[in-house]
Chains A and B, each alone.
Chain A
Amino acid sequence: MSAGPPLERQAAITGIGQSDVGRRLGRTDIDLTIDACLDAIADAGLTREDIDGLATYPGAGTGMAGFSGPGTPEVQDALRLKLNWHDGGAEGPAQMKAVIAACFAIAAGAARHVLVYRTVTESTVQGEGGRQGIGGSGSGGSGGVPRFSGFLQWTLPFGAVSAANWIALVGQRRVHEFGLTREQLAHVALNGRRNAALNPKAIYRQPMTLDDYLAARMISSPLCLFDCDAPCDGSTALVVSHVDYAADAPHPACHVNSVGTALRGRPSWDQFDDMTTMAARDAGASMWERTDLVPSDVDIAQLYDGFSLLTLVWLEALGFCGRGESGEFVDGGSRIALDGQLPLNTAGGQLSAGRLHGFGLLHEACVQLRGDGGERQVPGRHEVAVVANGGGPIAGSLLLTRGSG
Protein backbone atom coordinates (compact mmCIF):
# COMPACT_ATOMS: atom_id res chain seq x y z
CA MET A 1 0.00 0.00 0.00
CA SER A 2 1.17 3.50 -0.74
CA ALA A 3 1.14 6.06 2.06
CA GLY A 4 -1.70 8.18 0.71
CA PRO A 5 -5.32 7.27 0.10
CA PRO A 6 -5.95 5.02 -2.89
CA LEU A 7 -6.10 6.92 -6.15
CA GLU A 8 -9.66 5.85 -6.97
CA ARG A 9 -10.81 8.39 -4.36
CA GLN A 10 -9.99 11.04 -6.94
CA ALA A 11 -13.14 9.87 -8.77
CA ALA A 12 -16.86 10.17 -8.15
CA ILE A 13 -19.92 9.14 -10.12
CA THR A 14 -21.70 12.41 -10.86
CA GLY A 15 -24.23 11.33 -13.45
CA ILE A 16 -26.28 8.23 -14.22
CA GLY A 17 -28.48 7.39 -17.17
CA GLN A 18 -30.40 4.52 -18.60
CA SER A 19 -32.28 3.77 -21.80
CA ASP A 20 -35.55 1.90 -21.99
CA VAL A 21 -35.08 -1.62 -20.66
CA GLY A 22 -37.13 -4.52 -21.92
CA ARG A 23 -37.45 -7.66 -23.96
CA ARG A 24 -37.21 -7.51 -27.72
CA LEU A 25 -37.29 -3.74 -27.90
CA GLY A 26 -36.27 -4.07 -31.53
CA ARG A 27 -33.84 -1.18 -31.28
CA THR A 28 -30.16 -1.17 -32.14
CA ASP A 29 -27.43 -1.13 -29.55
CA ILE A 30 -26.13 2.28 -30.60
CA ASP A 31 -29.63 3.74 -30.43
CA LEU A 32 -30.10 2.58 -26.82
CA THR A 33 -26.57 3.63 -25.94
CA ILE A 34 -27.08 7.20 -27.13
CA ASP A 35 -30.20 7.46 -24.96
CA ALA A 36 -28.34 6.28 -21.88
CA CYS A 37 -25.29 8.43 -22.54
CA LEU A 38 -27.19 11.65 -23.12
CA ASP A 39 -29.27 10.91 -20.03
CA ALA A 40 -26.13 10.48 -17.91
CA ILE A 41 -24.40 13.58 -19.27
CA ALA A 42 -27.43 15.74 -18.54
CA ASP A 43 -27.84 14.14 -15.11
CA ALA A 44 -24.26 15.16 -14.30
CA GLY A 45 -25.09 18.75 -15.24
CA LEU A 46 -22.70 18.58 -18.18
CA THR A 47 -22.80 18.77 -21.95
CA ARG A 48 -21.00 16.53 -24.40
CA GLU A 49 -18.31 19.17 -24.77
CA ASP A 50 -17.32 18.44 -21.16
CA ILE A 51 -16.80 14.74 -21.77
CA ASP A 52 -13.13 13.99 -22.42
CA GLY A 53 -13.03 10.28 -21.62
CA LEU A 54 -15.01 7.26 -22.84
CA ALA A 55 -14.99 3.66 -21.64
CA THR A 56 -17.06 0.53 -22.06
CA TYR A 57 -17.08 -3.15 -21.25
CA PRO A 58 -16.46 -5.48 -23.06
CA GLY A 59 -15.86 -3.60 -26.32
CA ALA A 60 -17.37 -4.30 -29.70
CA GLY A 61 -17.62 -7.77 -31.17
CA THR A 62 -17.12 -9.72 -27.94
CA GLY A 63 -19.14 -12.77 -26.97
CA MET A 64 -22.49 -13.88 -28.31
CA ALA A 65 -24.62 -11.70 -30.56
CA GLY A 66 -26.17 -8.82 -28.66
CA PHE A 67 -23.74 -9.16 -25.77
CA SER A 68 -21.15 -6.48 -26.33
CA GLY A 69 -22.97 -3.35 -27.44
CA PRO A 70 -21.23 -0.76 -29.58
CA GLY A 71 -17.54 -0.06 -29.17
CA THR A 72 -16.14 3.27 -28.11
CA PRO A 73 -15.28 4.44 -31.66
CA GLU A 74 -18.92 4.14 -32.67
CA VAL A 75 -20.17 6.07 -29.65
CA GLN A 76 -17.43 8.67 -29.86
CA ASP A 77 -18.21 9.34 -33.49
CA ALA A 78 -21.99 9.43 -33.02
CA LEU A 79 -21.61 12.08 -30.32
CA ARG A 80 -18.53 13.70 -31.91
CA LEU A 81 -16.73 13.52 -28.58
CA LYS A 82 -13.26 15.03 -28.32
CA LEU A 83 -11.44 12.58 -26.09
CA ASN A 84 -8.26 12.69 -24.09
CA TRP A 85 -8.65 9.06 -22.99
CA HIS A 86 -10.64 6.05 -24.19
CA ASP A 87 -10.79 2.37 -23.37
CA GLY A 88 -12.88 -0.68 -24.19
CA GLY A 89 -12.09 -4.29 -23.49
CA ALA A 90 -13.11 -7.44 -21.68
CA GLU A 91 -10.01 -8.51 -19.78
CA GLY A 92 -9.91 -7.11 -16.28
CA PRO A 93 -11.94 -7.03 -13.06
CA ALA A 94 -15.23 -8.00 -14.68
CA GLN A 95 -17.70 -5.40 -15.88
CA MET A 96 -16.36 -3.02 -13.21
CA LYS A 97 -13.20 -2.86 -15.27
CA ALA A 98 -14.57 0.00 -17.35
CA VAL A 99 -15.43 2.07 -14.29
CA ILE A 100 -12.20 1.27 -12.49
CA ALA A 101 -10.15 2.17 -15.55
CA ALA A 102 -12.02 5.47 -15.69
CA CYS A 103 -11.20 6.17 -12.03
CA PHE A 104 -7.52 5.55 -12.65
CA ALA A 105 -7.53 7.65 -15.81
CA ILE A 106 -9.00 10.53 -13.81
CA ALA A 107 -6.51 10.06 -10.97
CA ALA A 108 -3.70 10.05 -13.51
CA GLY A 109 -4.91 13.30 -14.99
CA ALA A 110 -5.68 11.72 -18.35
CA ALA A 111 -9.33 12.79 -18.27
CA ARG A 112 -11.74 14.83 -16.17
CA HIS A 113 -15.21 13.53 -17.07
CA VAL A 114 -15.35 9.96 -18.35
CA LEU A 115 -18.55 8.62 -19.88
CA VAL A 116 -18.83 4.89 -19.13
CA TYR A 117 -21.53 2.66 -20.63
CA ARG A 118 -22.62 -0.94 -21.00
CA THR A 119 -25.22 -1.98 -23.56
CA VAL A 120 -26.92 -5.29 -24.26
CA THR A 121 -29.41 -6.29 -26.95
CA GLU A 122 -29.40 -10.00 -26.21
CA SER A 123 -33.16 -10.23 -26.10
CA THR A 124 -33.74 -8.75 -29.54
CA VAL A 125 -30.77 -10.46 -31.17
CA GLN A 126 -31.34 -13.90 -29.66
CA GLY A 127 -35.07 -13.65 -30.26
CA GLU A 128 -37.38 -16.36 -29.03
CA GLY A 129 -34.70 -18.99 -28.84
CA GLY A 130 -34.00 -18.48 -25.17
CA ARG A 131 -30.70 -18.63 -23.40
CA GLN A 132 -27.86 -19.79 -25.61
CA GLY A 133 -24.68 -21.65 -24.87
CA ILE A 134 -21.30 -20.75 -26.23
CA GLY A 135 -21.40 -20.52 -30.00
CA GLY A 136 -19.07 -22.19 -32.44
CA SER A 137 -16.32 -19.75 -33.17
CA GLY A 138 -13.56 -22.25 -33.66
CA SER A 139 -12.11 -23.35 -36.95
CA GLY A 140 -9.99 -26.04 -38.46
CA GLY A 141 -12.34 -29.01 -38.20
CA SER A 142 -13.12 -31.30 -41.09
CA GLY A 143 -16.50 -31.27 -42.77
CA GLY A 144 -17.36 -27.78 -41.58
CA VAL A 145 -17.87 -28.78 -37.94
CA PRO A 146 -16.26 -26.09 -35.84
CA ARG A 147 -13.35 -27.04 -33.63
CA PHE A 148 -12.39 -25.20 -30.46
CA SER A 149 -9.13 -23.89 -29.07
CA GLY A 150 -8.22 -22.11 -25.84
CA PHE A 151 -10.28 -22.66 -22.72
CA LEU A 152 -13.37 -23.88 -24.56
CA GLN A 153 -11.58 -27.00 -25.81
CA TRP A 154 -11.51 -28.25 -22.19
CA THR A 155 -15.25 -27.87 -21.58
CA LEU A 156 -17.30 -27.96 -24.79
CA PRO A 157 -16.54 -31.59 -25.73
CA PHE A 158 -18.23 -32.64 -22.51
CA GLY A 159 -21.36 -30.58 -23.01
CA ALA A 160 -20.24 -27.98 -20.47
CA VAL A 161 -21.18 -25.32 -22.96
CA SER A 162 -22.60 -22.51 -20.82
CA ALA A 163 -21.53 -20.48 -17.82
CA ALA A 164 -24.60 -22.08 -16.23
CA ASN A 165 -22.76 -25.41 -16.29
CA TRP A 166 -19.49 -24.00 -15.02
CA ILE A 167 -21.20 -22.20 -12.15
CA ALA A 168 -23.41 -25.20 -11.42
CA LEU A 169 -20.20 -27.10 -10.61
CA VAL A 170 -19.46 -24.43 -8.01
CA GLY A 171 -23.01 -24.82 -6.74
CA GLN A 172 -22.90 -28.58 -6.38
CA ARG A 173 -19.55 -28.29 -4.60
CA ARG A 174 -21.24 -25.87 -2.18
CA VAL A 175 -24.07 -28.31 -1.63
CA HIS A 176 -21.46 -30.93 -0.75
CA GLU A 177 -19.12 -28.80 1.33
CA PHE A 178 -21.53 -26.43 3.07
CA GLY A 179 -24.90 -28.15 2.90
CA LEU A 180 -26.39 -25.45 0.69
CA THR A 181 -30.03 -26.20 -0.11
CA ARG A 182 -32.26 -25.17 -3.00
CA GLU A 183 -34.57 -23.57 -0.45
CA GLN A 184 -31.74 -21.28 0.65
CA LEU A 185 -30.64 -20.48 -2.90
CA ALA A 186 -34.24 -19.64 -3.73
CA HIS A 187 -34.16 -16.61 -1.48
CA VAL A 188 -31.80 -14.76 -3.78
CA ALA A 189 -34.34 -15.15 -6.58
CA LEU A 190 -37.37 -14.46 -4.38
CA ASN A 191 -35.76 -11.32 -2.96
CA GLY A 192 -35.03 -10.08 -6.46
CA ARG A 193 -38.59 -10.70 -7.56
CA ARG A 194 -40.04 -8.89 -4.55
CA ASN A 195 -37.90 -5.85 -5.26
CA ALA A 196 -38.60 -5.97 -8.99
CA ALA A 197 -42.27 -5.44 -8.26
CA LEU A 198 -41.25 -1.94 -7.12
CA ASN A 199 -39.14 -1.27 -10.22
CA PRO A 200 -41.20 -0.12 -13.23
CA LYS A 201 -38.37 -1.06 -15.61
CA ALA A 202 -38.00 -4.63 -14.35
CA ILE A 203 -38.56 -7.53 -16.75
CA TYR A 204 -40.38 -9.87 -14.34
CA ARG A 205 -42.64 -8.15 -11.81
CA GLN A 206 -45.30 -10.77 -11.07
CA PRO A 207 -44.99 -12.37 -7.62
CA MET A 208 -43.04 -15.59 -7.24
CA THR A 209 -43.38 -18.04 -4.38
CA LEU A 210 -40.99 -20.62 -3.03
CA ASP A 211 -43.20 -23.28 -4.58
CA ASP A 212 -42.94 -21.57 -7.98
CA TYR A 213 -39.20 -21.59 -7.62
CA LEU A 214 -38.96 -25.22 -6.57
CA ALA A 215 -41.25 -26.29 -9.42
CA ALA A 216 -39.16 -24.60 -12.11
CA ARG A 217 -37.36 -26.82 -14.56
CA MET A 218 -33.77 -27.65 -13.83
CA ILE A 219 -31.09 -26.14 -16.07
CA SER A 220 -27.94 -27.64 -14.59
CA SER A 221 -28.22 -28.91 -11.03
CA PRO A 222 -28.51 -27.24 -8.58
CA LEU A 223 -29.47 -24.29 -10.81
CA CYS A 224 -33.05 -24.07 -12.06
CA LEU A 225 -34.57 -21.62 -14.50
CA PHE A 226 -35.10 -18.98 -11.80
CA ASP A 227 -31.44 -19.12 -10.82
CA CYS A 228 -30.50 -17.75 -14.25
CA ASP A 229 -30.83 -14.10 -15.18
CA ALA A 230 -33.18 -12.75 -17.83
CA PRO A 231 -31.65 -11.62 -21.14
CA CYS A 232 -32.91 -8.17 -22.05
CA ASP A 233 -32.19 -5.05 -24.07
CA GLY A 234 -30.96 -1.89 -22.45
CA SER A 235 -28.10 0.49 -21.96
CA THR A 236 -26.76 2.00 -18.76
CA ALA A 237 -24.32 4.91 -18.65
CA LEU A 238 -22.61 6.95 -16.00
CA VAL A 239 -20.29 9.90 -15.79
CA VAL A 240 -17.21 9.39 -13.65
CA SER A 241 -15.73 12.79 -12.82
CA HIS A 242 -12.76 14.18 -10.97
CA VAL A 243 -13.82 14.48 -7.35
CA ASP A 244 -13.35 18.24 -7.35
CA TYR A 245 -16.44 18.49 -9.57
CA ALA A 246 -18.59 16.50 -7.12
CA ALA A 247 -19.83 19.49 -5.14
CA ASP A 248 -20.93 21.26 -8.34
CA ALA A 249 -22.90 18.31 -9.68
CA PRO A 250 -26.69 18.68 -9.49
CA HIS A 251 -27.16 15.39 -7.63
CA PRO A 252 -25.27 13.95 -4.67
CA ALA A 253 -22.13 12.37 -6.06
CA CYS A 254 -21.30 8.75 -5.39
CA HIS A 255 -17.68 8.79 -4.29
CA VAL A 256 -15.48 5.88 -5.20
CA ASN A 257 -13.99 4.73 -1.91
CA SER A 258 -12.13 1.65 -3.04
CA VAL A 259 -11.97 -0.87 -5.85
CA GLY A 260 -11.60 -4.63 -5.77
CA THR A 261 -9.41 -5.81 -8.61
CA ALA A 262 -7.28 -8.72 -7.41
CA LEU A 263 -6.97 -12.11 -9.08
CA ARG A 264 -4.54 -14.16 -7.04
CA GLY A 265 -5.72 -17.65 -7.93
CA ARG A 266 -5.43 -19.19 -11.39
CA PRO A 267 -7.53 -17.40 -14.02
CA SER A 268 -9.49 -20.53 -14.86
CA TRP A 269 -13.03 -21.82 -14.49
CA ASP A 270 -11.91 -25.32 -13.54
CA GLN A 271 -8.37 -24.97 -12.10
CA PHE A 272 -9.01 -22.24 -9.49
CA ASP A 273 -7.70 -23.38 -6.09
CA ASP A 274 -11.00 -22.94 -4.25
CA MET A 275 -13.93 -23.77 -6.49
CA THR A 276 -16.41 -22.54 -3.88
CA THR A 277 -15.16 -18.95 -4.00
CA MET A 278 -13.19 -18.43 -7.17
CA ALA A 279 -12.04 -14.93 -8.05
CA ALA A 280 -14.62 -13.07 -5.94
CA ARG A 281 -12.53 -14.05 -2.91
CA ASP A 282 -9.56 -12.09 -4.23
CA ALA A 283 -11.45 -9.07 -5.53
CA GLY A 284 -13.38 -8.73 -2.29
CA ALA A 285 -10.29 -9.01 -0.12
CA SER A 286 -8.38 -6.47 -2.18
CA MET A 287 -11.23 -3.96 -1.93
CA TRP A 288 -11.19 -4.05 1.88
CA GLU A 289 -7.39 -3.80 1.88
CA ARG A 290 -7.75 -0.35 0.32
CA THR A 291 -10.13 1.21 2.83
CA ASP A 292 -10.77 1.73 6.51
CA LEU A 293 -14.44 0.96 6.03
CA VAL A 294 -15.55 -2.53 7.02
CA PRO A 295 -18.41 -4.77 5.87
CA SER A 296 -20.69 -3.64 8.70
CA ASP A 297 -20.51 -0.08 7.32
CA VAL A 298 -22.29 -1.13 4.13
CA ASP A 299 -25.92 -0.06 3.90
CA ILE A 300 -26.79 -1.42 0.45
CA ALA A 301 -25.40 -4.36 -1.52
CA GLN A 302 -25.76 -4.84 -5.26
CA LEU A 303 -24.16 -8.21 -5.84
CA TYR A 304 -23.93 -9.88 -9.20
CA ASP A 305 -26.72 -12.34 -9.88
CA GLY A 306 -26.15 -13.48 -13.41
CA PHE A 307 -26.76 -16.70 -11.54
CA SER A 308 -28.25 -16.63 -8.02
CA LEU A 309 -25.37 -18.70 -6.76
CA LEU A 310 -22.89 -15.94 -7.56
CA THR A 311 -24.67 -13.62 -5.13
CA LEU A 312 -24.01 -16.14 -2.37
CA VAL A 313 -20.36 -16.34 -3.37
CA TRP A 314 -20.10 -12.54 -3.21
CA LEU A 315 -21.77 -12.30 0.20
CA GLU A 316 -18.94 -14.41 1.58
CA ALA A 317 -16.19 -12.88 -0.53
CA LEU A 318 -17.10 -9.41 0.74
CA GLY A 319 -17.15 -10.55 4.35
CA PHE A 320 -20.87 -10.16 5.05
CA CYS A 321 -20.75 -13.69 6.43
CA GLY A 322 -18.16 -16.41 6.81
CA ARG A 323 -17.08 -18.89 4.16
CA GLY A 324 -19.88 -21.34 3.57
CA GLU A 325 -22.41 -19.34 5.60
CA SER A 326 -24.19 -17.46 2.80
CA GLY A 327 -26.96 -20.04 2.49
CA GLU A 328 -27.95 -19.47 6.10
CA PHE A 329 -27.44 -15.72 5.69
CA VAL A 330 -30.12 -15.44 3.00
CA ASP A 331 -32.40 -18.16 4.39
CA GLY A 332 -35.87 -16.83 5.01
CA GLY A 333 -35.05 -13.66 3.09
CA SER A 334 -35.54 -11.15 5.90
CA ARG A 335 -31.87 -10.23 6.29
CA ILE A 336 -31.55 -9.22 2.62
CA ALA A 337 -34.94 -7.54 2.22
CA LEU A 338 -35.33 -3.79 1.68
CA ASP A 339 -35.82 -3.29 5.42
CA GLY A 340 -33.29 -5.94 6.42
CA GLN A 341 -29.77 -5.82 7.77
CA LEU A 342 -28.29 -5.80 4.25
CA PRO A 343 -30.75 -4.74 1.54
CA LEU A 344 -29.67 -6.71 -1.53
CA ASN A 345 -30.28 -6.16 -5.25
CA THR A 346 -32.92 -3.58 -4.50
CA ALA A 347 -34.13 -3.08 -8.09
CA GLY A 348 -34.63 -6.79 -8.62
CA GLY A 349 -31.15 -7.73 -9.78
CA GLN A 350 -30.52 -9.38 -13.09
CA LEU A 351 -32.69 -12.35 -12.19
CA SER A 352 -35.85 -10.25 -12.30
CA ALA A 353 -34.94 -6.78 -13.56
CA GLY A 354 -32.93 -8.03 -16.53
CA ARG A 355 -29.43 -8.86 -17.50
CA LEU A 356 -27.96 -5.38 -17.87
CA HIS A 357 -24.73 -7.16 -17.10
CA GLY A 358 -23.47 -5.53 -13.96
CA PHE A 359 -24.32 -1.97 -14.85
CA GLY A 360 -27.93 -2.27 -13.75
CA LEU A 361 -26.63 -3.10 -10.28
CA LEU A 362 -24.21 -0.19 -10.42
CA HIS A 363 -26.96 2.20 -11.52
CA GLU A 364 -29.20 1.05 -8.68
CA ALA A 365 -26.42 1.54 -6.12
CA CYS A 366 -26.22 5.19 -7.19
CA VAL A 367 -30.02 5.59 -7.13
CA GLN A 368 -30.12 4.26 -3.57
CA LEU A 369 -27.19 6.37 -2.35
CA ARG A 370 -28.92 9.43 -3.75
CA GLY A 371 -32.11 8.46 -1.97
CA ASP A 372 -34.01 8.38 -5.26
CA GLY A 373 -35.30 4.80 -4.97
CA GLY A 374 -38.92 5.86 -4.55
CA GLU A 375 -41.05 2.95 -3.41
CA ARG A 376 -38.00 0.71 -3.20
CA GLN A 377 -35.73 3.18 -1.40
CA VAL A 378 -34.12 1.47 1.56
CA PRO A 379 -35.35 2.99 4.80
CA GLY A 380 -32.81 4.63 7.08
CA ARG A 381 -29.14 5.06 6.38
CA HIS A 382 -27.95 5.01 2.79
CA GLU A 383 -24.37 6.21 2.97
CA VAL A 384 -22.31 3.25 1.77
CA ALA A 385 -23.02 0.83 -1.08
CA VAL A 386 -21.05 -2.03 -2.54
CA VAL A 387 -21.34 -3.23 -6.12
CA ALA A 388 -19.81 -6.52 -7.19
CA ASN A 389 -19.68 -8.01 -10.66
CA GLY A 390 -18.60 -11.23 -12.21
CA GLY A 391 -18.38 -14.94 -11.59
CA GLY A 392 -15.87 -17.74 -11.84
CA PRO A 393 -12.40 -16.42 -12.58
CA ILE A 394 -13.76 -12.95 -13.37
CA ALA A 395 -14.50 -10.54 -10.52
CA GLY A 396 -14.44 -6.88 -9.65
CA SER A 397 -16.05 -4.73 -6.98
CA LEU A 398 -16.59 -1.13 -6.07
CA LEU A 399 -17.26 0.54 -2.72
CA LEU A 400 -19.23 3.77 -3.06
CA THR A 401 -20.06 6.43 -0.48
CA ARG A 402 -22.61 9.20 -0.66
CA GLY A 403 -21.33 12.71 -0.89
CA SER A 404 -23.10 15.72 0.47
CA GLY A 405 -24.43 17.44 -2.61
Chain B
Amino acid sequence: MFANGPSIRLLPRLDDDNRFFWTGGKDGVLRFLKCGSCHQLVHPPVPVCPACLGKDLAPEAVSGRGRVHAYTVNHQQWIPGSEPYVIGLVEIVEQPDVRLTTNLVDCESEDGLIGSDVEVTFEQHDEVFLPLFRSVDSSKESNS
Protein backbone atom coordinates (compact mmCIF):
# COMPACT_ATOMS: atom_id res chain seq x y z
CA MET B 1 0.00 0.00 0.00
CA PHE B 2 1.31 3.41 -0.96
CA ALA B 3 0.82 6.53 1.13
CA ASN B 4 -1.99 8.83 0.06
CA GLY B 5 0.35 11.76 -0.45
CA PRO B 6 3.33 13.58 0.99
CA SER B 7 3.78 13.92 4.74
CA ILE B 8 3.04 17.65 4.56
CA ARG B 9 0.56 19.21 2.18
CA LEU B 10 1.71 22.42 0.57
CA LEU B 11 -1.43 24.41 -0.13
CA PRO B 12 -2.76 26.80 -2.75
CA ARG B 13 -3.19 30.45 -2.06
CA LEU B 14 -6.86 31.18 -2.53
CA ASP B 15 -8.04 34.10 -4.60
CA ASP B 16 -11.25 35.10 -6.34
CA ASP B 17 -10.40 32.99 -9.39
CA ASN B 18 -9.56 29.68 -7.74
CA ARG B 19 -11.58 29.70 -4.49
CA PHE B 20 -14.55 27.82 -5.97
CA PHE B 21 -12.23 25.01 -7.08
CA TRP B 22 -10.30 24.56 -3.88
CA THR B 23 -13.28 24.88 -1.51
CA GLY B 24 -15.81 22.88 -3.57
CA GLY B 25 -15.08 19.77 -1.56
CA LYS B 26 -16.93 21.32 1.39
CA ASP B 27 -20.13 20.02 -0.19
CA GLY B 28 -18.38 17.08 -1.80
CA VAL B 29 -18.47 18.43 -5.33
CA LEU B 30 -15.73 18.91 -7.89
CA ARG B 31 -16.31 22.02 -9.96
CA PHE B 32 -14.75 23.56 -13.05
CA LEU B 33 -15.44 26.77 -14.84
CA LYS B 34 -17.87 26.18 -17.69
CA CYS B 35 -18.56 28.44 -20.63
CA GLY B 36 -22.21 29.45 -20.82
CA SER B 37 -22.00 29.83 -24.59
CA CYS B 38 -20.15 26.75 -25.86
CA HIS B 39 -20.23 24.62 -22.68
CA GLN B 40 -16.46 24.06 -22.69
CA LEU B 41 -14.88 23.29 -19.32
CA VAL B 42 -12.04 25.73 -18.73
CA HIS B 43 -9.09 24.78 -16.53
CA PRO B 44 -7.11 26.34 -14.94
CA PRO B 45 -9.58 29.18 -14.42
CA VAL B 46 -9.21 32.19 -16.71
CA PRO B 47 -11.71 34.98 -17.35
CA VAL B 48 -12.35 34.02 -20.98
CA CYS B 49 -13.39 30.83 -22.73
CA PRO B 50 -10.36 29.78 -24.79
CA ALA B 51 -12.65 27.98 -27.25
CA CYS B 52 -15.18 30.70 -28.16
CA LEU B 53 -13.81 33.75 -26.32
CA GLY B 54 -17.10 34.02 -24.44
CA LYS B 55 -16.95 35.66 -21.02
CA ASP B 56 -20.01 34.02 -19.49
CA LEU B 57 -18.09 31.58 -17.31
CA ALA B 58 -19.35 30.06 -14.07
CA PRO B 59 -18.34 27.15 -11.84
CA GLU B 60 -20.27 24.01 -12.63
CA ALA B 61 -20.35 20.67 -10.85
CA VAL B 62 -19.02 17.60 -12.60
CA SER B 63 -19.53 13.97 -11.66
CA GLY B 64 -16.15 13.59 -10.03
CA ARG B 65 -15.41 10.59 -12.21
CA GLY B 66 -12.19 10.37 -14.16
CA ARG B 67 -9.67 8.13 -15.84
CA VAL B 68 -5.96 7.81 -15.07
CA HIS B 69 -3.91 9.21 -17.96
CA ALA B 70 -0.51 8.85 -16.30
CA TYR B 71 1.02 8.30 -12.87
CA THR B 72 4.34 8.08 -11.09
CA VAL B 73 5.31 6.65 -7.73
CA ASN B 74 7.39 9.26 -5.94
CA HIS B 75 10.17 7.87 -3.75
CA GLN B 76 12.36 10.94 -3.26
CA GLN B 77 12.15 12.73 0.08
CA TRP B 78 11.48 16.18 -1.35
CA ILE B 79 9.22 16.56 1.66
CA PRO B 80 10.94 14.84 4.59
CA GLY B 81 9.09 11.98 6.22
CA SER B 82 7.10 11.04 3.14
CA GLU B 83 6.51 7.39 2.30
CA PRO B 84 6.23 6.49 -1.39
CA TYR B 85 3.03 7.99 -2.79
CA VAL B 86 1.32 7.92 -6.16
CA ILE B 87 1.02 11.09 -8.21
CA GLY B 88 -1.71 10.72 -10.80
CA LEU B 89 -2.71 12.65 -13.85
CA VAL B 90 -6.46 12.22 -14.14
CA GLU B 91 -8.69 13.06 -17.11
CA ILE B 92 -12.13 14.35 -16.19
CA VAL B 93 -14.76 12.09 -17.71
CA GLU B 94 -16.96 14.97 -18.92
CA GLN B 95 -14.07 16.43 -20.96
CA PRO B 96 -10.91 14.30 -21.09
CA ASP B 97 -8.63 17.12 -22.21
CA VAL B 98 -9.11 18.63 -18.76
CA ARG B 99 -6.64 16.95 -16.46
CA LEU B 100 -5.77 17.22 -12.80
CA THR B 101 -2.44 16.43 -11.24
CA THR B 102 -3.48 14.68 -8.05
CA ASN B 103 -2.81 11.74 -5.77
CA LEU B 104 -4.20 8.27 -6.35
CA VAL B 105 -5.19 7.14 -2.86
CA ASP B 106 -5.87 3.76 -1.25
CA CYS B 107 -3.60 2.44 -3.96
CA GLU B 108 -2.05 -0.98 -3.38
CA SER B 109 -0.36 -1.63 -6.70
CA GLU B 110 0.73 0.27 -9.77
CA ASP B 111 -0.40 -2.51 -12.07
CA GLY B 112 -3.03 -1.41 -14.56
CA LEU B 113 -3.35 2.10 -13.16
CA ILE B 114 -3.24 3.89 -16.51
CA GLY B 115 -6.66 3.76 -18.13
CA SER B 116 -8.42 2.79 -14.91
CA ASP B 117 -11.55 4.55 -13.70
CA VAL B 118 -11.34 6.70 -10.60
CA GLU B 119 -13.54 9.04 -8.61
CA VAL B 120 -12.85 12.08 -6.52
CA THR B 121 -12.48 12.11 -2.77
CA PHE B 122 -11.57 15.22 -0.82
CA GLU B 123 -8.96 15.76 1.87
CA GLN B 124 -9.50 18.86 4.00
CA HIS B 125 -6.69 21.17 5.14
CA ASP B 126 -7.99 24.35 6.74
CA GLU B 127 -10.38 25.87 4.21
CA VAL B 128 -8.86 23.91 1.31
CA PHE B 129 -10.34 20.63 0.10
CA LEU B 130 -7.79 18.81 -2.06
CA PRO B 131 -9.37 16.66 -4.78
CA LEU B 132 -7.76 13.21 -4.66
CA PHE B 133 -8.87 10.18 -6.62
CA ARG B 134 -9.36 6.52 -5.81
CA SER B 135 -10.25 3.59 -7.94
CA VAL B 136 -13.96 3.20 -8.47
CA ASP B 137 -13.82 -0.37 -7.22
CA SER B 138 -12.04 0.25 -3.94
CA SER B 139 -14.27 3.23 -3.18
CA LYS B 140 -17.33 0.99 -3.24
CA GLU B 141 -15.98 -0.90 -0.26
CA SER B 142 -15.01 2.02 1.92
CA ASN B 143 -17.73 4.50 0.96
CA SER B 144 -21.32 4.67 2.25
Contacts and interface: CB of A to CB of B under 8 A. Distances in A.
B28 interface: no
Of the candidates B9, B78, B100, the one having the most CB atoms from chain A within 10 angstroms of its own CB is: B78
Contact of A158 (B18, B110, B128, B130): B130
Q: Which bucket holds chain B's interface residue count?
A: 35 or more
B5 interface: yes
Interface in B61-103: 69-76, 78-79, 82, 85, 87, 89, 97-103
A344 B25 CA distance: 49
B6 interface: yes
B38 interface: no
Interface in A118-166: 131-133, 136, 138-142, 145-149, 153-162, 164-165
A141 B126 CA distance: 10
Contact of B72 (A136, A140, A147, A165): A165
B43 A161 contact: no
B11 A148 contact: yes
B70 A173 contact: yes
Given A159-B85, A169-B89, A172-B70, A154 B101 contact: yes
A169 B73 CA distance: 9
A247 interface: no
B10 interface: yes
B101 A172 contact: no
A159 B13 contact: no
Interface string A101-116: 0000000000000000
A218 interface: yes
A147 B75 contact: no
Nearest to B85: A159
Contacts of A220: 72-76, 87
A133 B101 contact: no
B75 A217 contact: yes
Given A153-B18, A221-B110, A169 B75 contact: no
A362 interface: no
A99 to B, nearest CB: 31
A196 interface: no
B21 to A, nearest CB: 9
A28 B74 CA distance: 33
Of the candidates A148, A154, A275, the one having the most CB atoms from chain B within 10 angstroms of its own CB is: A154
B87 A157 contact: no
A147 B128 CA distance: 11
A168 B11 contact: no
B89 A157 contact: no
B38 to A, nearest CB: 17
A259 B122 CA distance: 46
B69 A275 contact: yes
Given A218-B73, A270-B99, A148 B12 contact: yes
Contacts of B98: 271
B10 A161 contact: yes
B44 interface: yes
Nearest to A145: B11
B12 A153 contact: yes
B52 interface: no
A100 interface: no
B11 A147 contact: yes
B134 to A, nearest CB: 14
A157 B11 contact: yes
A140 B13 CA distance: 6
A220 B69 CA distance: 16
A255 B71 CA distance: 42
Given A158-B87, A160-B74, A173-B89, 18 more contacts: A139-B13, A147-B11, A157-B11, A158-B101, A158-B102, A159-B79, A159-B85, A159-B87, A159-B103, A160-B87, A162-B76, A162-B78, A165-B74, A169-B87, A218-B75, A220-B72, A223-B72, A270-B89
17 contacts: A131-B76, A136-B10, A140-B13, A141-B13, A142-B126, A148-B10, A148-B11, A159-B6, A159-B87, A161-B79, A168-B74, A169-B87, A173-B70, A219-B75, A220-B76, A273-B97, A275-B89
Ordered nearest first, which 6 A-B pairs have the shortest CB separation?
Answer: A159-B6, A147-B13, A168-B72, A153-B12, A133-B78, A173-B70
Interface of A: 131-133, 136, 138-142, 145-149, 153-162, 164-165, 168-173, 176, 217-223, 269-271, 273, 275
